[in-house]
Amino acid sequence: MTTSSETDLLLDVHARLEAHYDLDRWHWRDDTPVLDICLGAILVQHTSWLNVEKALANLRAAGAFSLEAIAALAPADLAGLVRPVGTPATKAARLQAFVAFVAANGGFEPLLALPTAALRPLLLATPGIGPETADTILLYAGRRPVIVHDAYTARLFRRLGSGPEGKSYAAWQAWLDGSLPLDGRLRRRHHAAIVVHCKETCRARPACDRCPLLSLCPFGAAAAVG
């Protein structure tokens, strides 16, 4: 269970990161098309966003940036287009499984109109979609106030001396869900802020001297002493 002090910490962290970073440069904004979000969420698994941008650009240049076009491509041709993200045959198969899933459910509009409790299990049953990808689609494409947990979140809050007792995705998700207001926009920006911060400052080898969270962070304080 999240305590009031943990809730205060989470909200303080978010406010500081919002003030420090320009989160409007995040790759998924309020006007980002659903297809862009879903393809990106699948392609970004185990790779960088820069590689995803290259793969998405290849799909656009080939005239293959639609559900129908992706479904119609030969697997080898699709794999060639998404090669920048790595494991191209696997990623191509996942994209085609996803577009088949969307088509089988009548397209994005009826699919995303389903209740979260119905839609999340359907996403998880689609090959290549695990909890983080499913929740990313729900949060950004479906505009649901769900929590997306990732390795960046665990890194940041463990360094801040906080987080749930367990290490599982479900434990982290429940811990965050109990702290943050049930506000979809805030939760989208919360996740974006953590990713941006951990890529730019709270890296594996962190730049603690320029961190907006330094006064909150036992890890950073110890690094400064060391």
pLDDT at position 1, please? Answer: 40
Same domain, 43 and 135: yes
Same domain, 111 and 199: no
Q: What is the chain's Cα-based Rg?
A: 19
How many Cα neighbours within 13 Å face the side chain of 158? 13
Tracing tokens 């005239």 back to the chain, one arrives at: 63
Q: pLDDT digits over 46-93, tens only?
A: 999 999 999 999 999 999 999 999 999 999 999 999 999 999 999 999
Asked whether the predicted pLDDT for residue 217 surpasses 80, the reply is yes
Same domain, 220 and 151: yes
What contacts 156, CB < 8 A, 6 or more positions away? 13, 194, 197, 198, 202
Coil vs helix vs strand at 99? helix
Same domain, 114 and 199: no
Give buried/exposed letters for 69-85 (b at 16+ CB in 10 A, else e). ebbebeeeebbebbbbb
Angstrom distances, CA of residue 72 to CA of 69, 99, 127: 5, 10, 18
Same domain, 128 and 41: yes
Percent share of the chain, pLDDT over 70: 97
Last residue of one domain, picked from the residues 118, 141, 164: 141
Range of the domain at 107: 34-141
| Angle between helix 49-61 and helix 34-43 axes, rounded to 10 deg | 130
Same domain, 77 and 171: no
Last residue of one domain, picked from the residues 86, 117, 141: 141
Same domain, 47 and 102: yes
Same domain, 8 and 46: no
Last residue of one domain, picked from the residues 87, 113, 141: 141
Count the neighbouring beta carbons within 10 Å of the beta carbon of residue 109: 9
pLDDT at position 226, please? Answer: 58
Where residue 174 sits, what CATH number does that domain have? 1.10.1670.10
Q: How buried is residue 38: exposed, middle or buried, by Cβ count under 10 Å (0-12/13-18/19+)?
A: buried
- 193/80 Cα distance (integer angstroms): 33
Q: How buried is residue 114: exposed, middle or buried, by Cβ count under 10 Å (0-12/13-18/19+)?
A: middle
Region 108-126 average pLDDT: 98
Same domain, 137 and 39: yes
- 96/159 Cα distance (integer angstroms): 39
Closest by alpha carbon to 219, among 208, 153, 191?
208
Where residue 103 sits, what CATH number does that domain have? 1.10.340.30
> In which band, very low, low, confident or very high, does the pLDDT at 21 lie, cut at 50, 70 and 90?
very high
Same domain, 130 and 183: no
Count of domains in the chain?
2
